[in-house]
Structure 1
Amino acid sequence: MKSAFLSDRGVIKVGGEDARHFLNGLVTTNIELVRPGLGRFGALLTPQGKIIADFLVTEIPAGHGGGFLLDCPKSLAQPLTARLSIYKLRAKVVIENLSDSLGVLAVWDGQPQMTPDLAFADPRDNELGWRILVPAELAEKAAAAIGATMTSEADYEAHRIACGAPRGGVDFGYNDAFPHDANMDRLHGVDFDKGCYIGQEVVSRMQHRGTARNRIVRVGIDGDVASGTTVMAGEKTVGTFGSSAGGHGLALLRVDRVNDAIESGLAVTAEGHALTFVAPQDIALPKKAVT
């Protein structure tokens, strides 16, 4: 079993007696279902339905003060703290950026021998493993306690890419991508049955009308290609290449254009390197969009 402390991840605490109701009215996931030891994947959106920040969220046990912890990109921790604070109004909540004192240990390729406090299975995909929220100076001790070997962030990055889990700011742009673009609907990041949240109407319409055309797709590639490289099919732009490691990559593609290219026998390339599709179903057109 492997583990790595993720220096690019931060932690936000949302506490107070109104914390659950407050968060549930803002974000894409159902906070009513979050419990200590259980995590959910979600995002805060713009009113136009685009991702401001995505995160994993878990509940703090009552014995540790209660409230919720958001595992989010460290670069967005303070802006997200400020953004959430705008919505406080009269709600009895306290929002704090704890990134200087609390971080994220990722664990994969095995089952922890014991479950520490503030640990939860990654809700996006079983293959991604576990998350443990822990101070950086205690990461190695936590890894040893669960029977994991500490390894590098690069090892986890390769694992994330192979699992097809997008990383914001690399595989898609914040304030530019819809949840469907980043596969949040496929990674259990959007609850289509919960009540209202910011941007819900746009996201629900895309889901029920099958109008999502952009998807992050797992690809194979023989060569090194920089993130942000244009993906081409013949002379036509069909998307943008994201992160890659060990011959695996992620690319944000217009699936209708890619399907047209495949049907026409055109190679899909990035900087002249041909892309292969790890799971062809990833680029399948939405059923309701097919005429």
Structure 2
Amino acid sequence: MNLVTNFKLLRMARLHIRNLRELSTLMRIPSARSVIGRQNFILEPLAGRELIRVHGSEVIPFLQGLVTNDVSRLESSNGPSSMYGLFLNKSGRVLYDTIIYRTNNRDTFLVECDREASAEFRRHLRTYRVRKSIDIDSVDDEYSTWVMFSPKSEPVPTSPNPDLFVSPDARLSSLGTRILAPTDMNWSQLVKGYWRNNEFSASPASEECNYQLLRYEQGVGEGSLELPPGKCFPLEANADYLHGVSFQKGCYVGQELTARIHHSGVIRKRYMPIRLTAPIGSNKDVTSVAGAKLGRVCGSAHNRGVALLRIEQVLNGRQELMVDGERCYADRPQWWPEDMPGKRRMAFAE
């Protein structure tokens, strides 16, 4: 009996000592507590985007005559590292939405566009090249486009890695940061190469948290499906609020009507975020309860979407909105200016 009791006491003592050792080990590991408080970001490849290289000694005047923004600002050492710009047709309607990146070579720019429209976009550029010494080609086999953003809207840190081109989104800070990385760099390699001291953590995108939903929550359309070529004007796509139009630069294709709309102050429709209560079928028209058409859904996922809607009827009139017989709700983007001059003030007042 005494032997059995002694064995039990010995086993309990060993178990107690082991627990104490494990506790002291956890307390000595500095990362055990710091990981919990570490900022977490979402890192996602943008498979639907492609990079086009535009190179030549006349690249600035060439792009200036085609894009809505002032590309010459990229030449300045104090200028932005990237900018948002739209390419229009002669009627002033949007053909392609792009982000233009400067490089170490002042005669070379990388232009990010929708992958599905890449071939047509390159043909569009070559049409206006005429006799200029400009080379236009895809660098899809060299660079891939990624996006990094914070679900809590925290600022994304920069990276010291020289192999990466890192630039805040040229439209809205809430859309995160664009990363141009070599195509042979996968997700794990990019995470390890982005932060050298592991101050932050990154997670892959999920169905509940991804870049598309982030854009829909902000009411930002992107790509040929959400910005169908030739269907809307740049100011309807909020290009003026997304820093995508310069009203001081010289002429470009579609500039006359864009300037006229801007100076008149009459913009009846704009892209807005919507909240859905049911999946959308083939009919994407947004109507009032009485059946009056107020706009159209341009993209949706889960319970979020982006729609081109009539501003005054939707926001001022507080219309009850319907899509496919189901209720939906439109939101005024927080990043829209609060005070608008002239006729636009009435359209944007809540």
Q: TM-score when scaled to structure 2? A: 0.74
How far is the alpha carbon of 1:114 from its aligned partner? 1.3
Distance 1:286 1:237, change over 3 A: farther
Structure 1 stretches lacking a partner, 5+ long: none
Match of 2:81 among 15, 27, 38: 38
SS in 1 for 2:223: coil
2:50 corresponds to: 10
Q: Deviations over 1:167-214 (max 9, x none)?
A: 233333211111012111111111111111110010011111022211
What is the CA distance between 1:219 and its match in structure 2? 1.8
Residues 116-138 of structure 1 show CA distances to partners (whole Å, capped at 9, x for unaligned) of 54221111000111111223331
**Is the contact between residue 239 and residue 254 of structure 1 (CA under 8 Å) also seen in structure 2?**
yes
Measure the CA separation in 2 of the matches of 1:105 and 1:228.
32
Structure 1 residue 57 corresponds to structure 2 residue 100: yes
- Asked if 2 retains the 8 angstrom alpha-carbon contact of 1:168 and 1:174, the reply is no
1:90 match: 131
Q: 1: distance between equivalents of 2:51 and 2:168?
A: 17
Question: Cα distance, 1:83 vs. partner?
Answer: 1.0
SS in 2 for 1:20: helix
Q: Distance in 2 between matches of 1:143 and 1:66?
A: 31
Q: Is 1:111 aligned to 2:156, yes or no?
A: yes
- The structural deviation recorded for 1:216 is 0.7
Amino acid in the other structure paired with 2:139: L
Partners of 2:279 and 2:302 within 8 A in 1: no
Instruction: Report the counterpart of residue 285 of structure 2 in structure 1.
Output: 230
Counterparts of 2:263 and 2:158 in 1: how far apart (Å)? Answer: 42
Q: Counterparts of 1:223 and 1:190 in 2: how far apart (Å)?
A: 35
For 1:136, the equivalent position in structure 2 comes to: 183
Task: List structure 1 runs of 4+ shifted beyond 3 angstroms.
Answer: 280-287
* Code of the aligned partner of 1:2: I
Of 221-230 and 181-190, deviating more is: 221-230
Does structure 2 retain, via aligned residues, the 8 Å contact 1:228–1:241? no
Query: Which has the higher mean CA deviation after the structures are superposed, 150-159 or 2-11?
Result: 150-159
Whole-Å separation in 1 of the counterparts to 2:282 and 2:141: 28
- Say whether residues 1:124 and 2:171 are aligned partners: yes
- Pick the aligned partner of 2:331 from 268, 271, 278: 278
Partner of 2:263: 208
TM-score normalized with structure 1 length? 0.88
CA displacement 1:64-101 (0-9 Å, x = unmatched) = x8500011101111211111011112212111122243
Change in CA separation of 1:72 and 1:173 when aligned onto 2, cut-off 3 Å: same
**Structure 1 residue 29 corresponds to structure 2 residue 58:** no
- For residues 248-278 of structure 1, the C-alpha deviation after alignment (integer angstroms, 9 at most, x for no partner) is 321111223435753xxx4111122222232
* Greater shift in the superposed pair: 197-206 or 222-231: 222-231
User: Of the candidates 287, 306, 309, which is equivalent to residue 250 of structure 1?
Assistant: 306
What is the distance in 1 between the residues matched to 2:343 and 2:55? 41
Instruction: Give RMSD over aligned pairs.
Output: 2.6
| Aligned residue pairs, count | 286
Aligned position for 1:71: 112
1:164 positional shift: 2.1
Q: Structure 2: how far apart are the matches of 1:169 and 1:228?
A: 19
Distance (Å, rounded) in 2 between the aligned partners of 1:227 and 1:67: 43
Structure 2 unaligned runs (5+)? 1-40, 196-200
State the one-letter code of the partner of 2:157.
P
Matched residues in 2 for 1:188 and 1:10: separation? 21
Checking the alignment, whether the CA contact within 8 Å between 1:259 and 1:283 is kept in structure 2 is: no
Distance 2:60 2:262 in 1: 26
Separation in structure 2 between the aligned mates of residue 286 and residue 269 of structure 1, nearest angstrom: 31
How far is 1:41 from its partner? Answer: 0.2
Match of 2:239 among 178, 184, 198: 184
1:238–1:193 Cα change, 3 Å: same
